[in-house]
Structure 1
């Protein structure tokens, strides 16, 4: 998508929402799920994903489980209790943002 800059501020919310829906996921799985759900319009790169995952982990919102798959170690990310609460907060922020943007760009959605 050419307007991927619009999504940059939402990566954290996207990650939290997907983990809330899917219990635990590994990085590549997250990128593929986003691609699938957006029919290819949004592609999250590793360069954007992993710093966000590491920050969420450092902030106490994610825990990591390392599982050996064949000869490889795979990191699965899962929400902590604090992460579940943060998901609710981030989704509320995003809903408010969408509502305000809709009102700004389309007069039929303006509220009093």
Structure 2
């Protein structure tokens, strides 16, 4: 598993990317998808995920839909048009960051 510090800086990007790929998702589904796709290397906790989802919603990047499933209520999250734009921007920014970090950690010798 990776440190909380690394995860904290990438959580919003992870969530936005997953929602862009999958449409609407609920919180537990997001945690399981991340765990599955990373083979357990990234395990999101509710304490980290839900504040991030609420912040993205407050910023107008996500909308929620509440669905009754039997006796349970499930809250689905999906991207707004603004969220789609922000996702593309965050992914570009993160790819550039990774490239910069690779250069710093493995500078090419002349």
TM norm structure 2: 0.95
For the 8 Å contact 1:4–1:42, the answer to whether it is kept is no
Report the CA distance between 1:8 and its aligned residue.
1.1
SS of match in other structure, 1:94:
helix
Report the CA distance between 1:3 and its aligned residue.
2.6
Q: Which runs of 5+ in 1 are unaligned?
A: none
- Counterpart of 1:19 in structure 2 is 19
Counterpart CA distance in 1 for 2:101 and 2:92 is: 14
Q: Which runs of 5+ in 2 are unaligned?
A: none
Deviations 1:87-110 (A, max 9, x none): 0010011001000000001124x8
Two-structure CA RMSD over aligned residues (Å): 1.2
Counterpart CA distance in 1 for 2:28 and 2:2 is: 22
TM norm structure 1: 0.94
Counterpart CA distance in 2 for 1:88 and 1:98 is: 15
Aligned residues: 109
For the 8 Å contact 1:35–1:42, the answer to whether it is kept is yes
- Counterpart of 2:36 in structure 1 is 36
- Counterpart of 1:87 in structure 2 is 87
